[in-house]
């Protein structure tokens, strides 16, 4: 939609609130900004790969912390009964 001066305007249908956003619209914005479709497709694939790897890393860290906590607990119990 054009206003009187010929400037394009965008109407945002979402309200900005505090907290984490469950979805990013960066790829939509890239398309609206005129980036080539092929570039947006490659970026979307790379973002998907990054998200999968990040999820794996978070899972491994969580498992490591859980194992460390369990081992520390067993170690403490063992030493309580030794002394």
Averaged confidence pLDDT in the chain: 81
> Contact 22/13 with Cβ under 8 angstroms?
no
Given a contact cutoff of 8 angstroms between Cβ atoms, the answer to whether 34 and 41 are in contact is no
In this predicted model, what pLDDT tens digit does every residue of 5-37 receive, in sequence order?
667 777 777 777 888 777 778 888 898 899 999
Three-class SS state of 8: strand
Residue 21 · residue 14 · CB < 8 Å = no
Q: Which residue has the higher pLDDT, 61 or 44?
A: 44
């Amino acid at each position: 939609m054009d206003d009187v001066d010929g400037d394009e305007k965008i109407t945002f249908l979402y309200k900005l609130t505090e907290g984490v956003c469950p979805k990013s619209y960066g790829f939509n914005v890239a398309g609206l900004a005129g980036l080539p479709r092929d570039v947006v497709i490659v970026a979307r694939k790379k973002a998907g790969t990054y998200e999968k790897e990040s999820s794996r890393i978070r899972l491994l860290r969580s498992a490591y912390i859980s194992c460390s906590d369990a081992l520390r607990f067993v170690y403490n119990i063992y030493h309580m009964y030794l002394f």
